[in-house]
Amino acid sequence: MSHLLEVRNLSKSFGGLQATKDVSFTLEEGEIVGLIGPNGAGKTTLVNLITGVLSPSAGSIVFRGRDVSRQRPWQAARSGLARTFQIVQPFPQMTVLENVAAGALFAGAASSRAQAEREAMEHLEFVGLADQALRPATALTLPSRKRLELAKSLAMKPKLLLLDEVNAGLNTAEIDKALALMRTIAARGITILLIEHLMKVVTSLSTRVLVLHHGELISQGAPQAVLEDPKVVEAYLGSKFAARLAAQAQETGVEHV
Amino acid sequence: MSTSAKLPARRGLRPAHFVFLAWALLLAAMPFLADNYFVRLATFVAMYSALALSWNFIGGYTGYPSFATAAFVGLGSYTGAVLQNAGAPMVVAWVCATLFTGLVAALIGAAILRMKGHYFAVGSITLIEVLHQVASLWSSVTGGGEGLNVPILAGGPDFAGRVFLYAMLVTMLLVWAVTLWVDRSKLGFGLRCISQNEDAADMVGIQVNRYKTAAFTLSALFCGTVGAIYASWVSYISPSDAFSVLLTLKVPAMAMLGGLGTVYGPIVGAAAFVLMEETIWAHFLDYNQAILGVVIVLLILFLPGGFLKIDYRRLWRRPLPVRPAASVTAGGEKGDKAEKAAAPLATFAREGRS
Amino acid sequence: METYIQIIANGLMLGALYACIAVGFSLVWGVLNVINMLHGSFIVLGGYLAFFAWAQLGVSPFVMLFVVAAALFLLGFLIQYGAINRVVSKPVLLTLTLTFGLDLILYNFMNVVFEATPRRITLDLGSLGIGEVMLPYDRLLAMLLALAMTGILYWVLRSSRIGRAIVAVRMDRDAAALMGIRVNKVYAITFGISAMMAGACGALMAVVYPITTNTTGLLLGKAFTICVIGGLGSVPGALVGGLALGLIESFAGTWLGAQYAILIGSLLMLTLLMVRPTGLIGKRGYE
């Protein structure tokens, strides 16, 4: 059987620094998978490798049965890989609508600028930005910009959506909204790889969790199991706080599962 | 569907198009209205409009600070002159010069566009120097530093004046038509994305290198035409004349004067510039360059967005609470005086891409 | 063998002057992120001032050097403070075009006042002969002074208060501003220092080569090339780049003929730019 995405023995080093080491995992269609790890664990590097921003030093990436290890970002975008950025990257002087239309036109299915704008409008309605469509992208607040990124990614008609810290900097109410949004997206059949700091988001959304530490995949599996994994606990907090985290993970698990 | 009502209307025929076509018609009618001096002036207006529109593809839409205009004008003029001297009919030489210049630009572009910002600017200036040197040193073909004579068009100065005026006008209209197409096409949209955030453009699936090369080639193509026509017109070219650094600065300044990345900005800028040149500078021949310098300095300091980037609509619309982004087009606030001065140009403003 | 040593010696004497030309240009590019199209004219202006002081007042160019340096520092400071500071953080297109426009004004002014006739200060100091290798004293002196000035600048940047401020602004403009450094003033001083180096170097060049306004573009081109070879904003980089270009031109001139020197230099630079789009030793982020 074939996986949606298969990462095999992926390594990337910058000079002497090994950012990812021999990482292997698979994603299946329709899954929501969380990718967690302490700061500097190599999460964003991994996303950059998958989306063609970086080329791997070793290993391979197979997406929908095709080896995409060496593809450029624009090819990744067209092949159904879309991502949002930790630091939002809009086209500053374009309107919100045009920003989203760019995704629809160049990576999505839109055949003309007019159609791209129509599609963009639908995506903006979906994320709740329709009333801001004609404002310049720079006029948006941070939570709105995050939603703009999401709309742009969705306009690219992705099979796999990589969400890099979409919830960073949002307050609780906004996070709840974002969670609902992500569930709806997943329900549309889009596979999601969720890079997150917030355990609450990861545990309540993902069916599976991958843990990176110092560029290595140290654990993967169901959220509960992973969070109780001593290796993970140690990676995050050192052995000292192992017990406390275990208790906490139990609690969140009860709340959300 | 409820959404369609909120979408901006697609562009139809705009008054600006009619104003422009009337302007082109006026230029075309010049031989019947005035003497050869004005015919020559109209030829220059058409020529610089074509050059500024060409530069706009790479400098305006794509946001790459190219100073290579003179390289391509020079290449076109030498190609045209060499072909004409080899016996090619004038128009054939023009067409070949256009295609050859475009081809060279496409090849060079693929390499030079890997640079960004300052490096690209320096690289594009160096390109002029390289071609200048080649033209000076390759004397068996180019005549070296002594330059090259081009056969004078038979039929007398009046006839020749008209031929070259119409040739430049046709070139201007061609670039204008291509600009209109680019402005509305996927290509133009992609170029604007690149100019604002190249990495983000790559991420949404734009083939950045191919798009940039296309823009660079388009920006060179008609410079080649203009160069070849110019060589036939003045019937003598030399390396320092053909690869003029002054030209390479003037053209972006014209586009900036009108407004970067708009359809009509470069045309307004070129016309204003040429007319200014004729009315003011002609009286101060010794200070020609200094006055050009002063104009450029004032332009950059006080009107960096050009006439067409002033948001004339802001006058009656609630201003958006936007902090102007630090970029070429952030020219809004300082334009109050210029707004009044440029009021007749307001018609053109609506064609602006904002 | 002697000829090779002679070529190398010529190259190094030339290269020392080139380094001195480029060091200021590189400083402005690296610190202000501005390509200063005025740089060639600053050099020529310095040369003219030295020439006229020598021809009409009999002042030695090696003394005039200091006057020229002071005058150009002031000119540079004022230009930066009054004009370039206003657009210094805008895109390249604007800053470059602005300095280009300013250059036209200065260039035109020099053409009117000094005329384009080539001028050279001829000192006839004789030559130092080592075997068959001839080292004219005027060139030798120019080279040593150029190296000394470059060395002093290096010391100033590393050790003085203003030097540290310049380096701080170069590294992080915003952080430097938060630390209480007046960025605009630092910019103006940096630009002044750059003009000062250019002017002083022009005064030295007038001893070795004829000075004419026609060479402003050429000198600017050399500054570009050296920056691309040596990297931006660092004094040792400019020194290495300058000496390298001097040697390359010296050899190219001997083997291929002097008329090819410019072409070789330009092609070399384009090639370097294409191989390393951000400069050979240049840092990323100074685009």
Q: How far is B352 from chain A (nearest CA, A)?
A: 13
Top-confidence residue, B246 or B23: B23
Chosen from B6, B204, B213 to mutate, greatest number of chain A CBs within 10 A: B204
Beta bridge partners of A10: A23
Q: In chain A, which residue ranges form alpha helices assigned H by DSSP?
A: 43-50, 73-79, 96-106, 113-127, 142-155, 172-187, 199-205, 223-228, 230-237, 242-256
Neighbours of C70 (CB within 10 A): 14
Residue type, B192: R
Q: Chain B residue with minimal CA distance to A88?
A: B200
**Is pLDDT of B217 > 90?**
yes
Domain ranges of chain B: 13-316+326-349
Look at chain B and count its residues: 354
Q: Do A107 and B199 touch (CB under 8 A)?
A: no
Q: Do B117 and C92 touch (CB under 8 A)?
A: yes
Domains of chain C: 2-275 (1.10.3470)
* Mean predicted lDDT score pLDDT of chain C: 85
Burial class (CB in 10 A: 0-12, 13-18, 19+), B108: buried
* Mean predicted lDDT score pLDDT of chain A: 83
Q: Closest Cα to residue B311, out of B353, B273, B269?
A: B353
pLDDT band at A244 (very low <50, low <70, confident <90, very high): low
Nearest to B205 among A78, A92, A112 (CB): A78
A-B interface (Cβ pairs under 8 Å ≥ 3): yes
Q: Return the pLDDT at A44.
A: 86
Q: Number of CB pairs < 8 Å for A and B?
A: 99
Q: In the predicted model, what is the mean pLDDT of residues B327-332?
A: 36
Interval C107-152: pLDDT, tens: 989 988 887 778 888 777 777 777 777 778 888 888 889 999 999 9
pLDDT band at C80 (very low <50, low <70, confident <90, very high): very high
Q: Chain B residue with minimal CA distance to C101?
A: B293
Interval A195-215: pLDDT, tens: 887 777 888 888 898 888 888
Q: How far is B126 from chain C (nearest CA, A)?
A: 6
Interval C21-41: pLDDT, tens: 899 998 998 888 888 999 999
Q: Return the pLDDT at B344.
A: 32
Nearest to B287 among C35, C108, C221 (CB): C108
Chosen from A91, A144, A150, A153 to mutate, greatest number of chain B CBs within 10 A: A91
**Is pLDDT of B200 > 70?**
yes
A5-80+158-256: CATH architecture: 3-Layer(aba) Sandwich (3.40)
**Is pLDDT of B90 > 60?**
yes
Residues 76 through 115 of chain B touching chain A, CB cutoff 8 Å: none
Q: In the predicted model, what is the mean pLDDT of residues C229-235?
A: 77
**Is pLDDT of C257 > 80?**
no
Backbone angles phi, psi at B265, to 5 degrees: -50, -55
Coil, strand or helix at A253: helix
Q: Return the pLDDT at B93.
A: 94
CB C72 within 8 A of CB C46: yes
CB B273 within 8 A of CB B51: no
In this complex, the chains that touch C, judged by 3 or more CB pairs closer than 8 A, are: B
Residues of C in contact with B118 (CB under 8 A): 29, 33, 35, 92, 96, 286-287
The angle that helices B245-258 and B265-279 make with each other, rounded to 10 degrees, is 120
Output the CA torsion C234→C235→C237→C242 (10° steps).
140
Residues C73 and C61: their CA atoms lie apart, in Å, by 17
Coil, strand or helix at A29: coil
Residues of A in contact with B207 (CB under 8 A): 74
CB B117 within 8 A of CB B225: no
pLDDT band at B1 (very low <50, low <70, confident <90, very high): very low
**Is pLDDT of C232 > 80?**
no
Q: Chain C residue with minimal CA distance to B125?
A: C221
Q: Return the pLDDT at C73.
A: 95
Of the segments A109-123, B304-318, B324-338, which one has the largest average pLDDT value?
A109-123
Q: Return the pLDDT at B55.
A: 94
Residues 45 through 84 of chain B touching chain C, CB cutoff 8 Å: 59, 63, 65, 67
Q: How far is C24 from chain B (nearest CA, A)?
A: 17
Q: Do A94 and B6 touch (CB under 8 A)?
A: no
pLDDT band at A137 (very low <50, low <70, confident <90, very high): confident
Kindly give, in sequence order, each residue whose CB lies less than 8 Å from that of residue B281, ignoring residues fewer than 6 positions away.
Answer: B287, B288, B291, B292
